[in-house]
Structure 1
Amino acid sequence: MGSISPAMNGNEEVDLVVIGGGPTGLLSAVLARHMGLSVAIIDEKSGPLKLGRADALNARTQQYLEVVGILDELRSKGIECNTSSTFAEGEFKSRQSKWWTSLEHCLHRNFLMIGQPDVEAALLKKLDTPVSYGEQAISISEDEESAVITTNRGRTLRGKYAIGADGARSMVRAALDITFTGTKPEMVWSVLDTFIDTDFPVCSEIVTFQLNGQSRVSWIPRERGMARFYVLLDGEITQDKAENSIREHLAPHRVTFLKTEWFSTFEVKERIASTFVSKRGTGRVVLAGDAAHVHSVNGGQGLNTGIADAFGLGWRIALAVRHAKLSPQGASQLVQSYDTERRAVAGDVIGVAAKLVRDTIRTAKEYVGTIEKNAGYITGMGVAYDGTGSALISESEVGIWKAGKRCPDFSLLGSESGEPQRLYSIVPYGQFLILSIGSRQDHCQPREELPTTHLTILPSVAGGVQSATGGTSSTYEADIVTSAEPFKVVVRPDMYIGYVGNEAGVNEYMDSILSLS
């Protein structure tokens, strides 16, 4: 692994400086360390988050965190939820879950309800570099080779790249004069993490409550038997007003509030940075998470979109820093492709959340209908990069395999243990996967080596499975594979498909990454 190097002038030099210690910043640091980069992390908070903030991991985020290696720990603490209910006039009016249960090629067809403090704690356990809490960036500049950050402790950090994951009021974004534009609906929500005593039929469902034709209260089941309520109020916002509104919406059932761990308010804003990479896409500072985009909490998009930012950015920065054959211009374009892909997605996410928040003043049926229409973003499984113009997507398609779409997860037979394994449980982050689908094809040898793992996936054969081999090449069987014409698939390290086709096309795609210009 890389290490922090004090320069002759007393500055600290690292591969990556991460500004912000929330989930986006922490995951960025974990991935960078996994790929051998030296990292410095600063966060202006006094210490790790203890209460509140985000509350749900969607299906795609769970796939990411399985690759990272922390999902099992979080699942042991959280609550699975894949059903949305509507309640009005003293009874349940509907229950819907098909946008989860109809998902294909994924294991976890649900939200995992768990608090952001638990997510951050799991990432901190995975991180072998300390977070410098109580330290704030006060200035940032860059040249053609590095970004330079000075802090309130008198430190100067020089990194080959820097990630600004310092939230919606990002100092990094402001210092670089990156505009942050959008809309601001006149809505202020209150949120409570609370323990209650009630005769309401408690269930592991997201319940939207309708009163007087509007849907201003939602109940989210949480870990430890806790309940989270989102309450839209008019006028002065107080905890008493929020609790009274909850009582009104749950009537005729009684509710007693036993202990409230966290009460807060948030003003709905919908904004996106004009670029996610400094110097109009060519610089050394990259925005991620709320520093790059903010939106309503409706649909659980905030933390999930930030996690996806980090997962899509980490491998790019590692290649830009460490691959000797990548030219400076190629490294710049590699990082710029993050802006191309993730800013397009962020714009769509803002649109989805905007529809949801505006429909809270409509009936519960209309609100849930909006969820169903936008389920691809709410589950995370419909997020894709085809059509964005990304240099890292070679438009191509065979069956369910399409460049720009997420790589399917599926069971593999033929491991040394004899037990089925799923693809996402065995892939290493930072590696390109080259899948030979349908036959024992010779593995490609790109003219310039990239971190690559080869898998051969054959059709299942009744009565036995193919043997697996060790190292970076293995052979498996899978029901997902038919006996049709064989082909190859390149899966990027963020588990999105880059290319589908023949061996020559794989070589061309892999070589193109090192010859970006």
Structure 2
Amino acid sequence: MTTTTATAEATTATDVLIVGAGPTGLTLACTLARAGAAVRIIDKSPEPHRASRGKGLNQRSRELFDDLGAGAEAAAWGTERVTLRKYRDGVAIADTVAFGDRTPTPDTPYASGLLIPQWRTEEVLRRTLARYGVEPEFGRELTGFTQGADGVVATLADGRRIKAAYLVGCDGGRSPVRKALDVTFEGRTDTEECMVIGDVRVDGLDPAYWHQWFDEDAAVMLCPFRGSTHWQLQGMPERDADGRALPPSLESFQRLVDRCSRRTDIRLSDPTWFSVYRINVRMADRFRTGRVLLAGDAAHVHSIAGGLGMNTGIQDAFNLGWKLAYVVRGLASPGLLDTYEEERLPVAAWTLGLTEERLRAVTEGVKQAGVGTEAVVTDDVTTLGVGYSWSSLAWGGAKAGERAPDGPCGDGRLFDVFAGPHFTLLGFGRGSAQALAEAGEKCADRLRTCLVDDPTGHARRAYGIGEGEDALVLVRPDNHIALSAGADRGAEIADRLLRLGR
């Protein structure tokens, strides 16, 4: 793939071209299309895959899916509070429910994540995207691109060209887009330790449990999915006489299950996907080069411990999507895009460290009888605590940069008010009404205002606002707090929004 300077005669045919139609690319496409940006999304695969791969939405991703209008369908296909059943020497010795001790609260609607195969997550996102009149273009491989001051020209394998204002590489850990930019991808790959993984039909096991066998010298896990006859298998590979891992196969999967379970009645069949997973911990040194950006695995890869790979990519996309939309629609200057790397690169670095630490916890934990993969379960893996207090978009006041909490608001909830591509200005107390009206009039194309009806005081407490205090809280389109201020600062807020990115 090549990248050079574009010719002056290139014109824009679409606002944003997304390369890669996985969860990251699809989330980005949904976010852009909903905001009114023209978007095309291409993928070199001839058709959507049917592999389970990343099999869970964490609590924060569930909130973002709700915002996009995809949450209810995902929940219908997913499983909450799955029970992990641990075995030792073939005997079931412990059951654990991840986040089983948590309950929803007014500011945090999801106490648990959602177990759902990746192919189903992508299916839900494709249907959401179709509501905006956009369909992924499968069988379209990017072979090169050029970029200049006015945009990007992408060349496909069939010789077609796509002209766009911006290009985003959501094309995985081996990202051709990243390689064409000559962005470094520093880190490590563990060439010795690996895991086999695949999707198989399972007979003889209760699908109410995620079954996990951990012995001294072998391990295998079988995870069921709602509405599917196929389970995801993860385990240790067979090795040859020289200690080299052998390729996965149905026969090797069956031998592994027989060995660990000490049973002969569990039968595997109809494999639809095999893979070998090696721990790969790497991060790009930058997420943007001119008009080309990187998101998801194209920008960072890490251990699967904690299930944060797909979720981090989805959250990259939600952060980037509203910013790209504002720029291409003329609501912000291109400088706004600098905040994507400013905010998400430190989060990626944190994620790499967290998943390494959680992997060590699991590796040590499973050596103990009755302990399994629940060792990864901490508040960190919910990513509800991820914020951007260091960001140039954190404009001051209590909780600036943090996730904006949910809460009751009249007959509904704050998350319903936030849903969409707009900023939201919350007013607390009657003294904020005038500021809401003035800011709403000046910024009608980008701002929704809401005088919070909060008789219980839940929202005030969640946002750190004292009882009886008149205050304003500005919430970004990605549901992070931009500014908390007194009710007399409405003019300042409007000015900041009108100069966004400058």
TM-score bracket, shorter-length normalisation: 0.7 to 0.9
Q: Which whole-Å CA distance do the structure 2 matches of 1:167 and 1:135 have between them? A: 15
Match of 2:407 in 1: 410
Deviation sequence 1:399-433 (CA, Å, 0-9, x none): xxx1222111223333xxxxxx2332443321111
CA distance change for structure 1 residues 102 and 18 in 2, over 3 Å: closer, same or farther? same
Which position in structure 2 is the counterpart of 1:436? 427
Q: How many residues align?
A: 472
Distance in 1, matches of 2:38 and 2:353, equals 37
Q: Secondary structure at the match of 1:228?
A: strand
Alignment partner of 2:127: what SS? Answer: helix
Q: Give SS of 1:74's match.
A: helix
The residue type equivalent to 2:113 in the other structure is: F
Structure with more contact order per residue of length (Cα contacts < 8 Å, sep ≥ 6): 2
Shift, 1:8, TM fit: 12
Runs of at least 5 residues in structure 1 that lack an aligned partner in the other structure: 1-6, 415-420, 463-475
The separation in 2 between residues aligned to 1:236 and 1:395, in whole angstroms, is 56
The residue type paired with residue 304 of structure 2 is V
C-alpha contact 2:10 2:163 (8 A) present in aligned 1: no
Instruction: Give the match's secondary structure for 1:267.
Output: strand
For 2:313, the aligned partner's letter is G
| Structure 1 counterpart SS, 2:77 | coil
User: Which one of 443, 449, 453 corresponds to residue 448 of structure 2?
Assistant: 453
Specify whether residues 454 and 155 from structure 1 end up closer, same or farther in structure 2 by C-alpha distance, changes over 3 A only: same
| Corresponding residue SS for 2:453 | strand
Q: What's the secondary structure of 2:164's corresponding residue?
A: strand
> Of the candidates 217, 221, 226, which is equivalent to residue 218 of structure 1?
221
Partner of 2:313: 306
Match of 2:388 in 1: 385
Displacement of 1:395: 4.0
- Mapping of residues 133-148 of structure 1, within 5 Å: 133-148=138-153
Name the SS of the counterpart of 1:384 in structure 2: coil
Indicate the residue corresponding to 1:181 in structure 2: 186
- 1:496 aligns with 480
- Equivalent of 1:294 in 290, 296, 301: 301
Taking the aligned partners of 2:489 and 2:196, their CA distance within structure 1 comes to 53
- Sort the Cα spacing of 1:363 and 1:88 in 2 relative to 1 into closer, same or farther, 3 A: farther
**1:479-490 residue pairs with structure 2 within 5 A?**
483-490=467-474
Deviations 1:59-99 (A, max 9, x none): 11111111111221222222223555543241323525447
2:85 and 2:491 map into 1 onto residues whose CA distance is: 50
Task: Report the Cα distance in structure 1 between the residues aligned to 2:291 and 2:231, rounded to whole angstroms.
Answer: 42
Contact residue 439 and residue 457 of structure 1 kept, 8 A = no
Task: Tell me the distance in 2 between the aligned counterparts of 1:307 and 1:516.
Answer: 23
2:348 maps to what in 1? 346
CA contact (8 A) 1:490 1:497 kept: yes
Partner residue in 1 for 2:357: 355
* Alpha carbons of structure 1 residues 12 and 322: separation in structure 2 relative to 1, 3 Å: closer
Give the match for residue 248 of structure 2.
238
Tell whether 2:15 aligns with 1:15.
yes
Tell me the distance in 2 between the aligned counterparts of 1:363 and 1:254: 29
Partner residue in 1 for 2:3: none
2:52–2:232 Cα contact (<8 Å) kept = no
Q: Within 5 Å, which residues of 2 pair with 1:126-137?
A: 126-127=128-129, 128-137=133-142
Q: Relative to 1, partners in 2 of residues 1:371 and 1:11: Cα closer, same or farther, differing over 3 Å?
A: same
Deviations 1:106-150 (A, max 9, x none): 222222222222222222223312322211111122222312211
Residue type at the aligned position of 1:25:
G
Shift of 1:260: 2.7
User: Following the alignment from structure 2 to structure 1, what is the Cα–Cα distance between the partners of residues 174 and 189?
Assistant: 15
Change (3 A) 1:485 1:207: farther
Q: How does 1:47-446 map to 2 (within 5 A)?
A: 47-81=47-81, 83-89=83-89, 90-93=91-94, 95-98=96-99, 101=102, 104=105, 105-127=107-129, 128-185=133-190, 186-198=192-204, 202-204=207-209, 206-212=210-216, 216-223=219-226, 224-233=228-237, 235-239=245-249, 240-251=251-262, 254-278=265-289, 283-323=290-330, 326-327=332-333, 331-332=334-335, 334-364=336-366, 368=373, 370-372=375-377, 374-376=378-380, 378-386=381-389, 389-397=390-398, 402-414=399-411, 421-439=412-430, 441-442=432-433, 443-444=435-436, 445-446=438-439
User: Given the two structures, how large is their TM-score scaled by the length of structure 1?
Assistant: 0.82
Q: How much does 1:381 deviate? A: 1.5
**Distance across 1 between alignment mates of 2:213 and 2:408:** 39
**Deviation per residue, 1:451-491 (Å, 9 max, x gap):** 111112233279xxxxxxxxxxxxx9999687342322111
